[in-house]
Amino acid sequence: MSTFMDEYRSKLISAEQAARLVKSGMVIEYGQFATKPVDFDRALGARAGEENLTDVTIRATGTVLPVPEVVKNDPQHKSFTYGSWYCTAVDRKMGDFGLCIHYPFNYHEANNVGTLSSFQHRWCDIWVAQTTPMDRGGCFNFGLGNSHSYALGSTAKYRIVEVNTNMPRCLGGFEEGIPLDEVDYIIEGSNSPIFATPPSPAPNKAEQKIAEYIVEEIRDGSCIQLGIGALPNTIGMMLAESDLKDLGVQSEMFCDAFVAMYEAGKITNAKKATDRFKSTYTFCLGQQSTYDFIHDNSRLASCPVQYTNDPARVRLNDRMVSINNILEIDLLSQVCSESKGLRQISGTGGQLDFVIGAFESNEGMSFLAFSSTFKDKEGNLHSRIRPMLTPGGVVTVPRTMVNWVVTEYGKVNLKALSIWERAEALINIAHPDFRDQLIKDAEQMKLWRPTNKIACSA
C-alpha cells in the first residue's frame, strides 16, 4: 500500500471542503442504501439556504437513517431537491411532507442511467458514497452497495469516497469497488455506525401460511431471489428448516434469511448456470450479524445491478424462483407493489426484472405474495384484491407478466388464463368476507359468467 500513499494523501479533503464543490444546478448522487454519505451530507446540509446555492438535485437509492441533513435543513427547497430511485420507510415519510420525490425505473436499468449517452442529460456532477478504507491494491470497496455505484461515478465530474472503517468489505463479482486513480477526493469520515435493521418480527398466521404455500413448490437445486420485507425473510427461514438441498442465490438483495440458509447447509450454488458456488447479489440491507457474515466472504459475489437483475441473465439459472411482496391486485390481474393511490410506498425496484427472468427460466416460477386484507387507521378491514386498483395506484407488474399469486387462502398460477378465469382464480384466494362482493364487481365488469364457480377450500 505504501506505493499509493502519496497519491492518497494528495486527494484527502475535509467534508466541508468537499461540500464546497457543490454549485447551483448540480446533480449529486449519494451512495445506495447503507452506503449513503454521512459526513458529506452533514457538511452540505449546513450550506442550505445560501444565497448563491440553488436548484441542486440530490438523488439517492433507498434512504436509511439518519435522515439526510440536506432535507432536514432545507424543508422549503431553497437550495436542494431530494429524491430516491427506491423508497424506503424514510423516503416514504419524507415524501408525506413533500420533502422527497420518487424516480421510477426498473432496477436493472440503473447502470445505463450513468453510462449511456442517451441519458447524458441526467448524469450526475458529483458522486459520493461511503466505502471501506483503501486496500493494499489501492482500491476502495463499495461495501453494502455495489448496485450502480461504479457506473454513476464513471461519468461524474467529481468522484468522492467517504471512508468508513465499519463498512463490510464485499468481495466480487466485479465493479465492487473503485481504484484510487479513478477517485478525485477522499474524505476520512467519522466512522459512524453503519445502518442496520432490527430483527424481523415473528411472522403472523397469514405470513406463515403464505410461506408454506410457496416453500412446498420449491425443489432441490432451485435458485432463489428474495425481496425486501418480513414475508421473504419468513420464507427464507422456512427454507433453512426444510429438507431441500443445493439451493442457489441470484438476488438483488442479500438479506438476513440467506445467512440462516447458509448456516443450515442449504445453499451451495452448485447447480447455478453462472457464478457457480457463489451467491450473487448487488446490495445488502440487514442486521449487523448479516454484515459480519458477508465481510470478506469469498462464497458471495457482489456485482453491479445490471448483471444481477438482467432478466436475460436471471433466466439462465434452472429452477429460478423469485419471491416478492405486493400491495394489491385487481380483478384484471394488474399488480401494484409500490403505491397506495398516489402515495409512494416503495418502488418498482427489481420486482419486474425477476418476475420476467424467473418465469422464463427452465422450470422457474415467480411468486407475488401478500396477505389478503389490511386494516385502516379506524380498524376497518379491506381486501387487497380489488375490482380495480386504488385510483392513482401504479401498475408495477402488468397482467401479462403475472405468474403465481399467493395469499393465506391459496395460490393460483395466472399464466395462460383468460380474463374470466383470472378473476375467478383471484376471488378464490380472497378473504371469504369479500368474495360475494367481488363476484358482483366481476359481473359488472363483464368478467364473470353464470357458469363460473368458486372451489374454495377455506
Give domain limits for the chain: 2-188, 205-444
**pLDDT at residue number 458:** 46
**pLDDT at residue number 1:** 61
| 252 in active site | yes
- pLDDT tens column, 36-61: 999 999 999 999 999 999 999 999 99
The burial class, CB within 10 Å (0-12 / 13-18 / 19+), for 367 is: buried
Q: Are 295 and 264 in contact (CB under 8 A)?
A: no
What are the cell numbers at 304?
453491479
What type of residue is 218?
I
Cα 388 from chain centroid?
26
pLDDT band, very low/low/confident/very high, at 449 (cuts 50, 70, 90): confident
**pLDDT at residue number 456:** 57
Same fold across 2-188 and 205-444 = yes
CA angle, 43 then 147 then 202, to 5°: 95
- pLDDT tens column, 64-123: 999 999 999 999 999 999 999 999 999 999 999 999 999 999 999 999 887 887 778 789
**3-state DSSP percent of the chain in helix, strand and coil, to 5:** 30, 20, 50
Residue 57, beta-bridge partner list: 27, 81
What are the distances in angstroms from CA 5 to CA 11, 134, 227? Answer: 10, 10, 41
CATH architecture entry for 205-444: 3-Layer(aba) Sandwich (3.40)
- Strand segments, DSSP code E, in 53-134 are 56-60, 80-84, 101-102, 126-131
What are the cell numbers at 420?
374470466
In sequence order, the 6+-apart residues with CB closer than 8 A to the CB of 424 are: 442, 448, 452, 453, 454
Quickly list DSSP for 372-427: SEEE-TT--EEESEESSPPTT---SB-GGG--EEEETTEEEE-TT--HHHHHHHHH
User: With 60 as the cut, is the pLDDT of residue 457 above it?
Assistant: no
C-alpha 236/C-alpha 354 separation (Å) is 17
Residue 154's SS3 state is helix
**pLDDT, mean over the chain:** 96
Q: Are 330 and 387 in contact (CB under 8 A)?
A: yes
Lowest mean pLDDT among 160-174, 308-322, 439-453: 439-453
CA angle, 83 then 89 then 93, to 5°: 65
- pLDDT tens column, 218-267: 999 999 999 887 888 899 999 999 999 999 999 999 999 999 999 999 99
Strand 385-386 versus strand 381-383 pairing type? unpaired
- Average pLDDT (326-347) is 97
Residue 19's SS3 state is helix
What type of residue is 33?
F
What are the cell numbers at 36?
449513503
Percent of the chain whose pLDDT exceeds 90? 92
Neighbours of 450 (CB within 10 A): 5
C-alpha 259/C-alpha 290 separation (Å) is 7
Residue appearing with cell numbers 378473476 = 423
C-alpha 44/C-alpha 405 separation (Å) is 45
C-alpha 63/C-alpha 85 separation (Å) is 9
Among residues 210, 400, 219, the alpha carbon closest in space to that of 321 is found at 219
Q: Are 367 and 231 in contact (CB under 8 A)?
A: no
Neighbours of 378 (CB within 10 A): 5
* 449 or 181: which leads in pLDDT: 181
Q: Are 304 and 348 in contact (CB under 8 A)?
A: no
pTM above 0.75, yes or no: yes
User: With 90 as the cut, is the pLDDT of residue 268 above it?
Assistant: yes
Residue appearing with cell numbers 429460478 = 320
User: With 50 as the cut, is the pLDDT of residue 337 above it?
Assistant: yes
What type of residue is 87?
C
- pLDDT tens column, 131-184: 999 999 999 999 999 999 999 999 999 999 999 999 999 999 999 999 999 999
CATH architecture entry for 2-188: 3-Layer(aba) Sandwich (3.40)
Burial code of 320-349, b = ≥16 C-beta within 10 A, e = fewer? bbbbbbbbbbbbbbbbbbbbbeeebbbbbb
Residue appearing with cell numbers 465492487 = 176
Which of 109, 162, 207, 252 does the annotation list as catalytic? Answer: 252
